[in-house]
Amino acid sequence: MQKILEVNNLHVTFTTYGGTVQAVRGVDFHLNKGETLAIVGESGCGKSVTVNAVMRLIPNPPGKITKGKILFKDQDLTELKEKRMRAIRGVDISMIFQDPMTALNPTLTIGTQLKEGVKQHHSISDKEAEKRALEMMKLVGIPNPEERLKQYPHQFSGGMRQRIVIAIALICEPELLIADEPTTALDVTIQAQILELFEKIQKVTGISIILITHDLGVVAKIADRVAVMYAGKIIETGTKREIFYNPQHPYTKGLLHSVPRLDRKEKLQPIEGTPPDLFSPPLGCPFTARCPFAMEVCDKVYPKTVNQSDSHEVDCWLQDDRAKKLLTTAVKDK
Amino acid sequence: MFKYILKKLLMMLFTLWIIITLTFVLMLSVPGSPFNSESSSNEIVQQNLEKHYNLDQPIAVQYVLYLKSIITLEFGPSIKQPNQTVNDLLGRGFPISAELGLVTIIVALISGIAIGILAALRHNRIIDYIAMGIAVLGISIPNFILATLLIQQLAVNWSIFPVATWQGPLYMVLPVLALATGPMAIIARLTRSTMLEVLTQDYIKMAKAKGLAPWKIIVKHALRNALMPVITIMGTLLVGIMTGSFVIEQIFAIPGMGKYFVESINHRDFPVIMGTTVFYSSFLIIMLFLVDIAYGIIDPRIKVNKKEGEE
């Protein structure tokens, strides 16, 4: 399979008055053509920063990509000049934001906002841009598009606005779509509709999608592969199946346990504690303080990445052969 | 929209009537009459004069005559300079005052907005600090002090600009500077703060994600939203510029309306007070009305809300 995006050892920091926040601390992942990768994790773990870094939309100052490579079709985005990057944004890589209520400019018509992207990147007439805008409106399922194009964002519901945001993102036919919590601000029925729209669009255009979410239900619905992030690192990646049925990292397990289930009468098991302070992140595994299986080594050295299968990678000391022996004896003793 | 404008117009007429009546009452309650200063005239001459100007009539009659003169726009001759009518004075003074006011507003708006944007884009950097320092000075220094300082330095000491009067573009520089600095500073501060807020909005990030050029993002997406508060305070600023122009016209000996207005009050020149007041207030009311309309044009949400409220 062809890799469309490969992120290697990405570090992003933010300089503040209180010190330097290491928001992303060495993230590696890749995305194949036509697949959907979900990045999950709790608030503040660096999901959004990671994808904003891919778009080079981290405000500098205070933010900065300090290390690492972002290879998009074998081109390192971190080295591109701002002007070259602008030619990629919206054309090759597009982004959708969390809150459709604020992502559209209240003073411009939907038509203007749809058309300006295509007009910026392709030298086409207003008429052609309008035609393209109408096609997009139809694709995302907005009724009477001709009339709707002349309206302003406040004349649309939240779900409709998110459809428009998606249409805007897709109008230049990008190869990669980054969706930063696209359904978080919507109610459940609209969420389902938007997710179906993503599936439909992927089928029609073959676009690759990076989906950021903390909703495992969303992941289960549309992701092909999942990357679990914690405290600025990706601690486990695998196919959806591997992550849901065979999670290896205690944090991933914890996440799955903390999803309420209707079919079982168990008490919900939250992950106790809070994530570490990223002003001074721990040397070892950042999850140590909350991990029920923590060992002495966890606190001191960050674990090596272990391959469970070709697609399944985990950063955890429990995967070490020595730990496995310990664990089996511990279980027997119980 | 038509219904809304009609309602506004009626309200404006009502406001104007209140201003006219108040001016009338205030005019009468000020001690003294137009003929007091002329010590040479004896009592009979004074009585004849009062009769001529209908000042011997009962107050109610005077009020009606007064309203009539306003409705017909015939304010009659000035008492102090009987060879000129009020309409002559207005016709001569207004173009000059309008020129001064218009140039001032344009200068204040353009420079204020430009400084505001620049400061916002260089937030917490040297340009921002300098711009805001100037803005604070501009707000705190009264225009008549600034005017005298400007005359002292630029006209007297360095002789770059003429000291006073109104005879061409070069003569405009100092009075416009003196008059525009205050509003400019207010606009700059306001533009900066709203710009800073707007720049953090999601739709700006979205515009960046579309790959738009930075100037396009600022002009098309940010500025339009950032200018709403500026438009809102335009009405107040207009009032400020207008009252400021009374003083500035005096200092620079500009033969505008402000000069006639101030002089007419000093001399109790009733027809001129009336004429200038009515003129100034209707001008101001119309400007405020235009600001209201402009607000609706720039922000589509407002127009629609009003429509919905009416229908």
From the list A90, A108, A121, the residue facing B209 with the nearest CB is A90
Nearest Cα residue to A21 out of A31, A30, A34, A11 = A11
| Chain A contact for B205 (CB, 8 A cutoff) | yes
**Residues present in chain A in total:** 334
User: What CATH superfamily is the domain B86-310?
Assistant: MetI-like (1.10.3720.10)
Neighbours of B152 (CB within 10 A): 12
pLDDT at B75 over 90: no
- Judged by CB atoms closer than 8 Å, whether chains meet at B225 and A86 is answered as no
Is the complex ipTM higher than 0.90? no
Neighboring chain B residues of A99 at a CB cutoff of 8 Å? 202
Backbone angles phi, psi at A27, to 5 degrees: -100, 130
Nearest CA in chain B to A113: B207
Dig out the tokens for B210 from the structure: 């579309």
Which tens digits make up the pLDDT trace of A80-124? 888 888 888 888 899 988 888 888 988 888 888 888 888 888 888
Neighboring chain B residues of A154 at a CB cutoff of 8 Å? 300-301, 304
- Judged by CB atoms closer than 8 Å, whether chains meet at B210 and A120 is answered as yes
Task: Sheet with A63-72: list strands edge to edge.
Answer: A19-32, A3-16, A63-72, A75-76
Question: What's the pLDDT at B308?
Answer: 41
User: 């005077």: which residue's tokens?
Assistant: B62
pLDDT at B53 over 80: no
Question: What's the pLDDT at B306?
Answer: 46
> How many domains are contained in chain A?
1
| Chain B contact for A104 (CB, 8 A cutoff) | yes
Question: What's the pLDDT at A334?
Answer: 53
Question: What's the pLDDT at B35?
Answer: 67
Specify the range with the lowest mean pLDDT, choosing from B12-26, B63-77, B144-158, B186-200.
B63-77
Question: Are the C-beta atoms of A105 and B216 separated by less than 8 Å?
Answer: no
Dig out the tokens for A255 from the structure: 């996440």
**Mean residue pLDDT across chain A:** 86
CATH number at residue A245: 3.40.50.300
Question: Could you give the CA distance from residue A318 to residue A316 in angstroms, rounded to a whole number?
Answer: 5
Neighboring chain A residues of B209 at a CB cutoff of 8 Å? 55, 57, 89-90, 94-95, 97, 169
Question: What's the pLDDT at B309?
Answer: 38
- Judged by CB atoms closer than 8 Å, whether chains meet at B209 and A152 is answered as no
| Chain B contact for A121 (CB, 8 A cutoff) | yes
Neighboring chain A residues of B301 at a CB cutoff of 8 Å? 106, 152, 154
Question: Could you give the CA distance from residue B209 to residue B245 in angstroms, rounded to a whole number?
Answer: 47
Question: Could you give the CA distance from residue B95 to residue B119 in angstroms, rounded to a whole number?
Answer: 35
Which range marks the domain in which residue A82 is found?
Answer: 3-333
Question: What's the pLDDT at A173?
Answer: 85
- Judged by CB atoms closer than 8 Å, whether chains meet at A120 and B211 is answered as yes
| Number of alpha carbons in the 13 Å side-chain half-sphere of residue A301 | 8
From the list B202, B216, B300, the residue facing A102 with the nearest CB is B202
DSSP 8-class letter at A310: S
Strands A313-315 and A305-307: antiparallel
Question: Could you give the CA distance from residue B145 to residue B165 in angstroms, rounded to a whole number?
Answer: 18
Question: What's the pLDDT at A101?
Answer: 83
Backbone angles phi, psi at A204, to 5 degrees: -70, -45
Residue B72: which pLDDT band, with cuts at 50, 70 and 90? confident
For chain B, the maximum distance between any two Cα atoms, rounded to a whole number of angstroms, is 85
Task: Sheet with A93-96: list strands edge to edge.
Answer: A93-96, A176-180, A208-213, A36-40, A225-230, A233-239, A313-315, A305-307
From the list A94, A104, A152, the residue facing B209 with the nearest CB is A94
Nearest CA in chain A to B202: A103
- Judged by CB atoms closer than 8 Å, whether chains meet at B213 and A154 is answered as no
pLDDT at A152 over 70: yes
Specify the range with the lowest mean pLDDT, choosing from A8-17, A174-183, B46-55.
B46-55
Residue B81: which pLDDT band, with cuts at 50, 70 and 90? confident
- Judged by CB atoms closer than 8 Å, whether chains meet at A120 and B304 is answered as no
Question: What's the pLDDT at A39?
Answer: 92
Question: Could you give the CA distance from residue B70 to residue B21 in angstroms, rounded to a whole number?
Answer: 11
Nearest CA in chain B to A58: B205
End-to-end, the C-alpha distance of chain B in Å comes to 10
Dig out the tokens for A176 from the structure: 């990669």
3-class DSSP assignment, residue A144: coil
| Number of alpha carbons in the 13 Å side-chain half-sphere of residue B306 | 16
Cα of A200 to nearest chain B Cα, Å: 22
Q: Which residue has the higher pLDDT, A273 or A225?
A: A225
CA B310 to chain centre: 31
Over residues B27-33, the mean pLDDT reads: 76
Which tens digits make up the pLDDT trace of B277-292? 888 888 888 888 888 8
What per-residue string of b and e applies to B54-67 under the rule 16 or more CB within 10 Å gives b?
A: ebeeeeeebbeebe
Question: What's the pLDDT at B185?
Answer: 94
| Chain A contact for B210 (CB, 8 A cutoff) | yes
CA distances from B277 to B16, B151, B264 (A): 10, 30, 10
Which tens digits make up the pLDDT trace of A220-243? 888 899 999 988 889 999 999 898
Neighboring chain A residues of B304 at a CB cutoff of 8 Å? 152, 154-155
Domain ranges of chain B: 86-310
Interface-testing mutation among B196, B199, B204, B206, with chain A (most A C-beta atoms within 10 A): B206
Q: Which residue has the higher pLDDT, B176 or B27?
A: B176
This prediction's pTM: 0.77
Question: What's the pLDDT at A75?
Answer: 85
Residues 145-174 of chain A whose Cβ lies under 8 A from any Cβ of chain B = 152, 154-155, 165, 168-169
- Judged by CB atoms closer than 8 Å, whether chains meet at B211 and A86 is answered as yes
Over residues B150-161, the mean pLDDT reads: 85
